[in-house]
Amino acid sequence: MKSKALFLIILASIALPAFGQASVKIGELNSYKVFPAFLEPYKKGMELAVEEINRSGGVKLQLVSRDDGGTPGDAVRVAEELIARERVNALMGTFASNVGLAVSNLAAQRKILFLASEPLTDKMVWENGNRYTFRLRPSTYMQTAMLVPEAAKLKKRRWAIVYPNYEYGQSATASFKKLLSEAQPGVEFVAEQSSPLNKIDAGAVVQALAEAKPDAIFSSLFAADLQKFVREGNTRGLFKNTAVFNLLGGEPEYLDPLKDETPEGWWVTGYPWSEINTPEHKAFRDAYQKRWMDYPRQGSVVGYAAVHALAHAVRKARSTDSEKLVEALKGLQMQTPFGPIVWREIDHQSTMGAYVGQLARKGGKGTMVNWRYADGAKFQPSDQAVRALRRE
Amino acid sequence: MSGSAVLLQFLNGLAGASSLFLVAAGLSLIFGVSRIVNFAHGSLFMLGMYLAVWLAERFGFWASVPLAAVAVGALGALIEILLLRRIYRAPELLQLLATFALVLLIKDFALWAWGPEDMLGPRAPGLAGAVGIAGRQFPQYELFLIVLGPAVFAALHFLLTRTRFGVLIRAATEDREMVGALGVNQRWLFTTVFALGAALAGLGGALAIPREPANLEIDLGIVSDAFVIVVVGGLGSIPGAFLAALLIGEVKAFCVGFGLAEITLAAEFIVMAVVLVLRPWGLLGRPLHEARAAAAGELHAPTRLMLALPLALIVVPLVSDAYTLVLLTDVFVFALFAVSLHFLLGPGGMVSFGHAAYFGLGAYAAALLVLRWQLPMELALLAAPLAALAGAALFGWFCVRLSGIYLAMLTLALAQIVWSVAFQWDAVTGGSNGLVGVWPAAWLASKPAYYLLTLALGTLGIACLWRIVGSSFGYALRASRDSPLRAEAVGIDVRAQQWTAFIVAGTFAGLAGALAAFSKGSISPETLSVPRSVEGLVMVLLGGVNALSGPVLGAAIFTWLEDLVSREIAYWRAALGAVILLLVLVRRWSFR
């Protein structure tokens, strides 16, 4: 009798949090003040997902969102606050590589799940990868790899490269040179320009690139740097007979401000939100537009999918314990607005992809044409190479 | 580089120089007359940009440029009348703090008015195209800028040398009390000069919008550029500013032209450091006429309560949650940092804009000792300040040869150079990502343990610094500050005192940095960036320079405010700015 009651109590204590009332608190931190163009839509995507999940019942999500100050030191303090005071079940967010890596390292130290939604750095899942960190977006390496087949097809010999001088730009450049040299032996890299983030001296950079007389250019510029580069390059005729590849250039966050100056024919990775008509994307787009009276950006998809990923993990784990959530996320398959993705067991990278296409102008606005979806699963180095990089 | 490439990069440099000159000229004028180091000059430039973009949509680009300049000039007059006029007699540092509060207010105003996204202006109608030069396409608008810079210079030169107003400005730059004594209405003169300087900043901003999107980060970037140019040219010298703008504009363009990316980040600061070491008053500057400032006030000793505080803080881990400990750990780290800065700035009389360099050197040394040389964490923590000591010894040797604002700018330049090394030297410092995995040893890893460690070392460090202030060395140092001449006469080696002070302050900042590194588990170049130095200054000034315990209080208030307010209030910078202004205006905060 006594043992039976005890059994029931134990059963209840296990079952109760798992079914029905399972309440999860997500501690989200991001550099809202520093990268607002990307993160405002991101926040809207997150909130939409939270509302959907809470309406459907089952898992109850609570989102605590904080500004991380944009620096690793502040971000770590904010994360500590979320862990210690808010007692969140998982951390999520961050934008810049250095902030993401610092929070990822803290998560490993405190043994709490961290879903890095946005940072692109390869190190997040490879050199600095750890048990508690998972990353949603396609990494710098993956997105670069998506552009390389198109770049190799053009059979251009002389390439010039321009990139923002920090980890993202540096690793995009390194990956591009490596992958293109493999795909097209004999290719030459005739000029390389790196400029301080948000402070490109566009006139001088465009001039220096033009001097090298390249057949093609690979750029990983974005935001204000991209705007300045495009304007100077247009004025100075740099793009006239030169093919250009620009990482992230098709994301509405960075494409829309270019308006009627959008350079035609550039190959980019991005998100042609108005033209993707798969059922899963249509459903997302309709819901988003209905909720926010605005169209979704790349950031919206990231925020939306990241929150759903955590909800999936909680459902699969039937628990909010970080160790169990980590196990649940490994190999988890789920649906996103971009189609199905898998969270790779080997390096905790999701296989979410990106759209590869060309820029065009339509009615004074930039848009993507000739696009196709590049599935993230197909643009990965060999498992052996990943294992060599990842020291766990 | 081919000949035509050199020509075109030279033209690029000229265009850049023109933009830089407009901002720097205004700053130089203002400093020359009012001796105010206007930290908010970049904010006025930024405001000019936003206004011009906004006005250009309504009235077209060419109308927006003069309108924006006039509007910013009017705002400048208002700032002078309502704020600066009340604090001309206050110590320089208080003025600096007041203009810093303006930076915060203007930034949040722009955020509120125009939103967070970058706004690129239209191309200039009529000058949107390019002309062929040496077989290349060169933008017409850049040519326009190349002509405009010298034109503004000529106009200013005419104003200063050929008009009565100009004579008065030059006289005031030379000796403002004498101008007042001769019956010139100083109030009117100061207001006009400030408005003129602000209008030039606004004009510079408005003219920049076809080349650069208006954004919220540009204020500090521009003001540091402008400072560099004004200091390289010589404070208060318009021809000097013009020359320096040319020099720096060209250096920047050719760094890009030759593909010297590693140097581009710090190019202007390298130029400034070299110029200041060779010519302590800039290219065309002259030794400053000392304004007849009141001697620094009495230094208040900490109260008994303050001394008992560390004992009381020992029990905190028993009664509080883990996050309070995290926050208090930050407070102790910054208190030590602020006290070390105060040591240099109060008793030492040397304002440093680059104190974060030593904080960062300590942090990086600690991380490298643990990660690369596998040293035990305890040892690394104690050895790390030695790196800061070495850095301070090297930099201090150069810095103490200068004084006042020149000294401050050299510390800034050297700190920027250290920053760019940390940012670029991937193999050792981890580049922009920094170094991760810098955690304390197991027995110190828990929050309460690390809290107590920081409390102990922070208290010890602060006690040491206070003890030194009260020692005979401390008195010699203060004598060197208050009257270098008399100090020399009684046999004190002024430079040796100052250099020692530099080393002491740097070492303890390094200890603070090492403590910070282990509390966060990671470090990145931001630990030694300019904003960190500015934060330190704000903490010191917030607490009051004339009390030894001021910086501790300032660090506590700042850290607590930042944490609380940034979570609760969207416009926390403006809130902080308003608090600072209030303190400045109402209480003249503990400066008396």
Structure letter (DSSP) for residue B528: G
pLDDT at res. A215: 94
pLDDT at res. B179: 85
Q: Could you write out the DSSP letters of every residue in A85-150?
A: TS--SEEEE--SHHHHHHHHHHHHHHT-EEEE-S---GGGTTTT--TTEEE-SPPHHHHHHHHHHH
What's the mean per-residue pLDDT of chain A? 90
pLDDT at res. B298: 64
Please indicate if any CB of chain A lies within 8 Å of the CB of B225: no
Interface with chain A: mutation pick from B520, B558, B563, highest number of A CBs within 10 Å:
B520
Asked if the Cβ–Cβ distance from B256 to A201 is below 8 Å, we say: yes
- At residue B152, does pLDDT exceed 80? yes
Asked if the Cβ–Cβ distance from A85 to B15 is below 8 Å, we say: no
pLDDT at res. A23: 85
pLDDT at res. B65: 95
pLDDT tens-digit readout, B469-502: 989 999 999 998 888 889 899 999 999 999 999 9
pLDDT at res. B431: 84
Mean pLDDT, rounded, for A169-197: 92
pLDDT tens-digit readout, A116-126: 999 999 999 99
pLDDT at res. B265: 76
Mean pLDDT, rounded, for B355-383: 93
Tokens of B579: 């608090």
Asked if the Cβ–Cβ distance from A235 to B217 is below 8 Å, we say: no
More confident residue, A212 or A2: A212
Identity of the amino acid at A85: R
Q: What percent of chain B is predicted at pLDDT more than 90?
A: 43
CB-closest option in A121, A191, A204 to B9: A204
Interface with chain B: mutation pick from A83, A86, A197, A231, highest number of B CBs within 10 Å:
A231
Q: For residues B246 and B18, is the Cβ–Cβ distance under 8 A? A: no
Task: Give all strands (DSSP E) within B36-134, no chain letters.
Answer: 130-133
Confidence of residue B245 (pLDDT cuts 50, 70, 90): very high
Please tell me the least confidently modeled range out of A290-294, A327-331, B457-461, B531-535: B531-535
The Cα–Cα gap between A266 and B541 comes to: 52
What's the mean per-residue pLDDT of chain B? 88
- At residue A12, does pLDDT exceed 50? no
Helix (H) or strand (E) holding B290: none
The Cα–Cα gap between B329 and A392 comes to: 30
Please indicate if any CB of chain B lies within 8 Å of the CB of A43: no
Angle between the B41-59 and B186-208 helix axes, to the nearest 10 degrees?
Answer: 60
CA dihedral of residues B178, B182, B183, B185 (deg, nearest 10) = -40
> Residues 14-53, chain B: which have Cβ within 8 Å of A?
15-16
Q: For residues A329 and A136, is the Cβ–Cβ distance under 8 A? A: no
pLDDT at res. B292: 41
The Cα–Cα gap between B343 and B462 comes to: 10
Please tell me the least confidently modeled range out of A45-49, A171-175, B176-180: B176-180
CB-CB neighbors (< 8 A) of B118 in chain A = 37, 223-224, 227, 257
Mean pLDDT, rounded, for B307-332: 84
Nearest CA in chain B to A223: B118
CB-CB neighbors (< 8 A) of A257 in chain B = 117-118, 120, 213
What is the edge-to-edge ordering of all strands in the sheet holding A90-93?
A: A60-67, A23-30, A90-93, A113-116, A133-135
Most confident of A6-15, B97-106, B121-130, B334-343: B334-343
Please indicate if any CB of chain A lies within 8 Å of the CB of B65: no
Query: ipTM of the predicted structure?
Result: 0.86
HEC letters along B364-394:
HHHHHHHHCCCCCHHHHHHHHHHHHHHHHHH
Asked if the Cβ–Cβ distance from A72 to B524 is below 8 Å, we say: yes
- Measured in angstroms, the CA of B320 and the nearest CA of chain A are apart by 11
pLDDT at res. A16: 43
pLDDT at res. A385: 92
> Residues 167-226, chain A: which have Cβ within 8 Å of B?
167, 170, 191-196, 198-199, 201-205, 207-208, 210-211, 223-224
pLDDT at res. A34: 80
Asked if the Cβ–Cβ distance from B521 to A76 is below 8 Å, we say: yes
A/B interface, count of CB pairs below 8 Å: 182
Structure letter (DSSP) for residue B302: P
Confidence of residue B503 (pLDDT cuts 50, 70, 90): very high
Report the candidate in B225, B305, B10 with the shortest Cα–Cα distance to residue B136: B10
pLDDT at res. B574: 86
Please indicate if any CB of chain A lies within 8 Å of the CB of B521: yes
Alpha helices in B163-211 (DSSP H): 164-174, 176-181, 186-208
CB-CB neighbors (< 8 A) of A130 in chain B = none
Tokens of B340: 């070390």
pTM over 0.90: no
More confident residue, B94 or B479: B479
Confidence of residue B296 (pLDDT cuts 50, 70, 90): low
Q: Which residue has the tokens 């540092």?
A: B93
Please tell me the least confidently modeled range out of A273-282, A358-367, B154-163, B181-190: B181-190
pLDDT at res. A206: 93
Confidence of residue A17 (pLDDT cuts 50, 70, 90): very low
Please indicate if any CB of chain B lies within 8 Å of the CB of A165: yes
Identity of the amino acid at B146: I
- At residue B205, does pLDDT exceed 70? yes
Q: For residues B218 and B263, is the Cβ–Cβ distance under 8 A? A: no
CB-CB neighbors (< 8 A) of B356 in chain A = none
